[in-house]
Structure 1
Amino acid sequence: MSRKRVLIVGGTGYLGQHVLQGFSEIQETTPCDLAFTHHSSPPPQALLNAFPSVLPFSVDLKSGNGFEAISHQFGPPDVVVNCAALSVPRACEMDPAAAMSVNVPSSLVNWLSSLEESNYLLIHLSTDQVYEGVKSFYKEDDEVVPVNVYGKSKVAAEQFITEKCSNFAILRSSIIFGPQTISPVSKSLPIQWVDGVLSKGNTTEFFHDEFRCPVYVKDVVAIILALSKTWISEAKQRKLVLNVGGPDRVSRVQMAETVADIRGYNLSLIKSVSSSSLDRGVMSPADISMDITKLVQTLGISPISFRDGVRLTLEL
């Protein structure tokens, strides 16, 4: 059997780097050729040093410039993992056109569709922000009613993929947390940020009325690897939408309290406030906790608890 080709779109981002690492670690059992796209030029040297056999490609997702080079130098991919996104809700709110042009992967899908003998699985990262946030534990077949531009761009992406792709897995991810990447990303990481402010002894405000199901990054990687391995070995048609969250519904206050408890910080540093007390320049859904029964039943993967994930994050 010829070696399969895996392309990670957005390979220099937080999840992208963890996914690259995950595929590199399974080379003995599931050998595959790896490539990734990056928008930042040049790609981080630390990443190239860590994965010397992986091919980097500079790609502009808005225009599609760069995909042809992948066709010529790498070939048509068997698995594509799309981690690229404008994922800061406020930035999306300020520039809806940019959010739509990056978050709806039209140039990527159009390129894949143009390849001859192309039979690929697209694993696409969506978000829990497709849900309205007015109840607990959303299921995949609940209505999607996003309250901000970021969520709307992700719903548009899901609709585009569902219409255009024969084989896909759409992963509606909650907040992804975990250790820093091989080439550190500049964006603030949630657990590290909480740890940082509390370690300085600063009293900090956290919302008590905004609920999520944060998911440990290595669990997200395990889900992506499981989907990829099944596709590589069986290539059965797959049209899948999965909630990808951790098992715990936690408020921002509870997230901070968990960090404080593990680190031994004074809980009085955590000031509980309502999300309505702050204007963030963007609507934020109150409760987009997710039911992950379908994920567990479909893939046999049970994400670890929030507390265990925080402990692993802070140990590393």
Structure 2
Amino acid sequence: MEKKRVLVVGGTGYLGQHLLEGLSRAEELGLQRPYDLAYTHHRPAPPREMTDALAPVLAFRVDLETGQGFDSISETFGQPHVVINCAALSVPLQCEKNPAYATAINVPSSLVGWLSSFANNDSLLIHLSTDQVYEGVKSFYKEDDEAVPVNMYGKSKVSSENFISSNYSNFAILRSSIIYGPQTMSPVSKSLPIQWIDSMLSRGQEVDFFYDEFRCPIYVKDLVNIILILIKKRVSDENPMRLLLNVGGPERVSRLQMAEKVADVRGHDSSLIKAVSASSVDRGVTSPADISMDISRLTQELGVTPVCFKNGVQLTFGEAHVEA
């Protein structure tokens, strides 16, 4: 039986590393057939911690703007059965300052072009999008609601979704909310949301949090599990997939409520948490107010119910007791 080949694009990022860790032990999680695993990176070399932990997983340097490096994957690894695209310029302010670069990275034209070059172009492309495709003027957006992004990050991700659906026939697009959870095997440089809140409150200083900006944060290992389920579906059923899913946690929480739950779990003084309006701060980029998502399609299609935010915080910090 031919081994199934899985490629993670953007494997050195936060989700990419957690996904590689999950994939490296996916057989015990229900992926029954044997497979080979590889990932791409943009830096000159992948972190030593990753190469040591994941050996013999293959790593390839790829430039997503030009597509340089994909030919090496074809020659060494072959056509992947599944590709998970985690690569993105995901900091909204950076996207606002450099819209051309944001579009070049976030719209996967070189990746789709490479996948389409195979004579048998039936690789499943799992693409990470964002809740910021929504305008943010109501609660619990559904996948069929119109995507009206208010910043360049969201616009680039809408463009990526449209590009994939118009130019590729086998895909699953996952609109993810804030992803949180433990640090990665090779620590990422960006600030992790739960760890940042914990760090700020542990100093005993007052901190401002928005009471009027709502999201559905998702625990990273729930997102990994969702992707593993999609890979399993591709392994067991080779029919093309055209799937769009909201991927968030089960709760609509404000930034203020997130901080309060972290304080509760970690035993911090909740009086340090100060409620302010998002309109009181100029972040240099427009941020949607309420992009909470309805995840009923996710539950129906894949049978997944992500953990609630408090439980995810407990799991992030390795708390022994997690409520049912």
Fold equivalence (TM over 0.5):
yes
Q: Is residue 48 from structure 1 mapped to residue 51 from structure 2 by the alignment?
A: yes
- Aligned to 1:106, which of 103, 106, 109? 109
Structure 1 counterpart of 2:3, one-letter code: R
The runs of 5 or more residues in structure 1 that have no matched partner are: none
- Counterpart check, 1:161 vs 2:156: no
In 2, Cα distance between equivalents of 1:308 and 1:30: 32
* Structure 2, unpaired ranges of 5+: 320-324
Q: In the alignment, is the contact (CA less than 8 A) between 2:40 and 2:62 conserved in 1?
A: yes
Partner letter of residue 88 of structure 2? Answer: A
Match of 2:146 among 118, 122, 143: 143
1:27 is displaced (CA, Å) by: 3.5
Given the alignment of the two structures, is residue 81 of structure 1 paired with residue 62 of structure 2, yes or no? no
Q: Give the distance between the partners of 1:261 and 1:106, measured in 2 at CA.
A: 44
Correspondence for 2:195: 192
Counting only pairs closer than 5 Å after superposition, residues 1-316 of structure 1 correspond to structure 2 as: 1-27=1-27, 29-315=32-318
Paired with 1:118 and 1:55, the residues of 2 have a C-alpha distance of: 22
CA RMSD, 1 decimal? 0.8
| Residues in 2 aligned to 1:135 and 1:119: alpha-carbon distance in whole angstroms | 37
Q: Which amino acid aligns with 1:12?
A: T
Identical-pair percentage = 65
Shift of 1:118: 2.6
| Greater Cα offset, 58-67 or 23-32 | 23-32
CA distance in 2, matches of 1:258, 1:184: 24
- 2: CA distance, partners of 1:191 / 1:119: 38
Q: Counterpart amino acid of 1:18? A: H
**What's the TM-score once normalised by structure 1's chain length?**
0.99
Q: Secondary structure at the residue paired with 2:12?
A: coil
Aligned residue pairs: how many? 316
Equivalent residue letter for 2:242: K
Q: Distance in 2 between matches of 1:203 and 1:181?
A: 28
Q: Is the 8 A contact 2:210 2:277 kept in 1?
A: yes
Separation (CA, whole Å) in 1 of partners of 2:150 and 2:183 = 30
